[in-house]
Amino acid sequence: MPSGDYNTQSIKTLYDNLIAKGEQSKVDTLHVRCMVEVVYVNDLNDKLRVANNSSASDLVMVF
């Protein structure tokens, strides 16, 4: 699937909104990138918590 094409409309809308915001200025580009990084870190923390709770030490080591 090409960049920006999504099967879920809410994800497509979010993508379009973030692209539009990021195109406004360099500062807005940094804000969008920061928002994406926060989501990545939160997702990794959630996965780490699941791995810790299931005693998956090999996964914990990767995270």
Per-residue pLDDT of the chain (63 residues; tens, 9 = 90+): 788 888 899 999 999 999 999 999 999 999 999 999 999 999 989 988 888 888 777 766 666
According to the model, what pLDDT value does residue 4 have? 82
DSSP helix/strand/coil, 23: coil
Q: Return d(Cα 43, Cα 49) in angstroms, integer.
A: 10
According to the model, what pLDDT value does residue 61 have? 67
Q: What is the dihedral sign for C-alpha 40, 45, 50, 54?
A: positive
According to the model, what pLDDT value does residue 63 have? 60
According to the model, what pLDDT value does residue 62 have? 66
Q: Cα torsion for 34, 13, 50, 63, to the nearest 10°? A: -40
According to the model, what pLDDT value does residue 60 have? 62
